[in-house]
């Protein structure tokens, strides 16, 4: 508000008393316009931040749902899988069901399953498709355990209901 009064004092006609009120009024109106514009910009910026925060939270929730959907049990093999760390091939074995074909073959949680019957496995759906195609026969599984490749044969049994052991 100070600059509005200074504006009125500098640019008014000192010989005319009628002009002072008009210049002060113009200065005050100008100050309110500047103040209103600044408040509008602040409100707009805060609204943009709120929208961005909401969008970020929705993206994080979607990523969490997708990760939870990918961590699932491949019934024929008896392992719970997760996505492999960035830059690593295959799928991560998160858990092995007791007395499952994977347990009998010696697979462990933390192994990276990279190949099934010589074909590369890149995600959980591909592993599920390949294990279903190999049910009832022995399949060769190649894993990385502590950066060391390791292969074994596993006899794939038909799938069990979730939670059955």
Q: Which domains are delineated in the chain? A: 2-67 (no CATH), 72-155 (2.30.42.10)
pTM for the model? 0.53
Q: Measure the CA–CA gap between 76 and 160, rounded to whole angstroms.
A: 7
Q: Measure the CA–CA gap between 164 and 8, rounded to whole angstroms.
A: 86
Polymer length in residues for the chain: 165
CA distances from 118 to 87, 111, 129, 135, 140 (A): 20, 17, 14, 16, 7
> Mind listing the pLDDT tens digit of every residue in the chain (165 residues)?
555 555 555 555 555 555 566 666 667 777 777 877 877 778 877 777 777 787 888 888 877 776 665 555 566 888 888 888 888 888 999 899 898 899 999 999 999 999 998 999 988 888 888 888 888 888 999 999 988 998 999 988 775 544 444
Q: Answer for the pair 139, 156: CB distance below 8 angstroms, yes or no.
A: yes
């Amino acid at each position: 508000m100070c600059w509005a009064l200074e504006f009125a004092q500098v640019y008014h006609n000192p010989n005319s008393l009628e002009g002072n009120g008009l210049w002060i009024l113009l200065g005050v109106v100008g100050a309110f316009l500047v103040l209103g514009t600044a408040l509008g910009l602040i409100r707009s910026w805060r609204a943009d931040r709120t929208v961005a925060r909401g969008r970020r939270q929705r993206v994080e929730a979607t990523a969490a749902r997708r990760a939870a959907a990918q961590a699932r049990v491949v019934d024929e093999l008896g392992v719970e899988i997760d996505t492999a760390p960035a830059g690593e091939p295959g799928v991560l074995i998160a858990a092995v069901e007791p007395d499952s074909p994977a347990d009998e073959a010696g697979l462990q949680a933390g192994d990276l399953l990279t190949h099934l019957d010589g074909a590369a496995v890149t995600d959980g759906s591909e592993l599920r498709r390949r294990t279903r195609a190999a049910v009832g026969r022995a399949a060769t599984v190649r894993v990385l355990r502590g950066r060391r490749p390791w292969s074994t044969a596993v006899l794939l049994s038909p799938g069990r209901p979730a939670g059955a052991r």
